[in-house]
Amino acid sequence: MKFIKIDKESWAKGLERLDDSFRLFGPVKQDKFHNFKELDKGELPDLSLLNTRLSPKSVVYPQSEVMFEYTLDENKEDHHILKEIDKDYSPRAVIGIRPCDAKAFLVVKPNFDAPEYKDPYWIKSYEATTFVGYACDTPCSTCFCTPAGCGPFHEEGLDLLLVDTNDHYLIKVITEKGENFLSAAGWGAEVDADAASDQIETMRHTAEAKITSRVSTDELKDKNITDLFEASFWEEAAFACINCGTCTYACPTCWCFDIQDETYGYYGIRMRNWDSCMYPLFTLHGSGHNPRDTKIQRVRQRFMHKLKYYVDKYENGIQCVGCGRCIRLCPVNIDIRRVCELMNSYGG
């Protein structure tokens, strides 16, 4: 295992050098809170954050994304034919992504990159991206990454792990992609691996100890699906929900989208937009029938999907990395930790 030391001066210089070969994305404070955005030339990622308001899933999977274009002009040869549009899949890097958000890409991968179905937009973007994680030593009280199978120093999904030791950064090289990123930046001051590894381990333990939210997920896989589906607690758990899309849009592991055509005169585009299982429209059939017409059904769907269907289908743990955004942002304080406990302990 290789470790690199970067002092904070060469940090900025390296990033500047990277500008030539990578599109850089990083957390930036916009008005009142941080979000990920493409960095302007010379702009540094602001790492003085707890975490971004929204997850960085948009770097790979934008909220609105154009897929095809078409013309309706019958004088054109290719009228009424959907054509793929050119997209920028040049190398990009997300700098300062929290380990929970990076693991989230692996959690959604089985959906976008399955053996039988491949989502070319997601896959190409994902493969073009180098994930430079920023180890988290300031978890929030709403964070529950460790019980969710992740952690503040978790490496799954990362190419590099950046650790802030106050006077310099330590970088743990995790993949070859990460290695290439380092050489493009010109960072190469290798340090003693054992010492660095020990230092990071100590910091990891300290950070993990700060995560006090306890959520039990161990029983979920053994529960009977229909028992949980028909459980009596849903009415009470769903009551406050106003069916906005905040939880799903803020969530790094929610992947649903809706496809829309927009036509402007003779020209048109087909795009996809994030959708949310919280909306009645999400399941409305062309016939007018809606199989999830009530709030309780929709709330149940969200939690059952994350905490039961996903668990059973992919045998990959829960569809949640414990980032806590939905807890912090829900307008009516519906807390996934509470619902998870209800599900995990249901029926004794």
Residue ranges in contact with other proteins by CB under 8 A: 30-33, 48, 50, 53-54, 62-66, 138, 140-142, 236, 239-240, 242-246, 249-250, 258, 260, 262, 264, 267, 269, 271, 273, 276, 279-281, 327-329, 331-335, 337-338
Closer residue to other proteins in complex, CB, 149/280: 280
Q: Are 318 and 307 in contact (CB under 8 A)?
A: yes
Closer residue to other proteins in complex, CB, 128/269: 269
Closer residue to other proteins in complex, CB, 71/142: 142
CB of 336 to other proteins, least distance (A): 10
Name the token pair of 270: 């087909």
Cα–Cα distance for residue pair 338/344, rounded to 1 Å: 10
Q: What number of other Cβ atoms are within 10 A of residue 118's Cβ?
A: 12
Contacts of 6 (CB under 8 A, 6+ apart): 14, 168, 169, 170, 171, 187, 189
Closer residue to other proteins in complex, CB, 2/210: 210
CB of 221 to other proteins, least distance (A): 25
CB of 312 to other proteins, least distance (A): 27
Cα–Cα distance for residue pair 10/22, rounded to 1 Å: 17
Closer residue to other proteins in complex, CB, 195/242: 242
Closer residue to other proteins in complex, CB, 3/70: 70
Q: Are 41 and 204 in contact (CB under 8 A)?
A: no
Buried b (16+ CB within 10 A) or exposed e, 156-165: bbbbbbbbbe
Contacts of 220 (CB under 8 A, 6+ apart): 307, 308, 311, 318, 340, 343, 344
**C-alpha dihedral (321, 327, 328, 329), degrees to nearest 10:** 100
Closer residue to other proteins in complex, CB, 10/243: 243
CB of 210 to other proteins, least distance (A): 9
Please choose, from the candidates 107, 154, 308, 300, the residue with its C-alpha nearest in 3D space to the C-alpha of residue 225. Answer: 308
CB of 228 to other proteins, least distance (A): 21
CB of 301 to other proteins, least distance (A): 17
Cα–Cα distance for residue pair 249/277, rounded to 1 Å: 10
Side chain identity, residue 180: N
Q: Half-sphere exposure (CA, 13 Å, Cβ side) for 82? A: 9
Q: E strands along 191-347, which residues?
A: 257-264, 267-274
Closer residue to other proteins in complex, CB, 65/179: 65
Closer residue to other proteins in complex, CB, 110/280: 280
- CA 101 to chain centroid: 5
CB of 180 to other proteins, least distance (A): 25
CB of 294 to other proteins, least distance (A): 12
CB of 330 to other proteins, least distance (A): 8
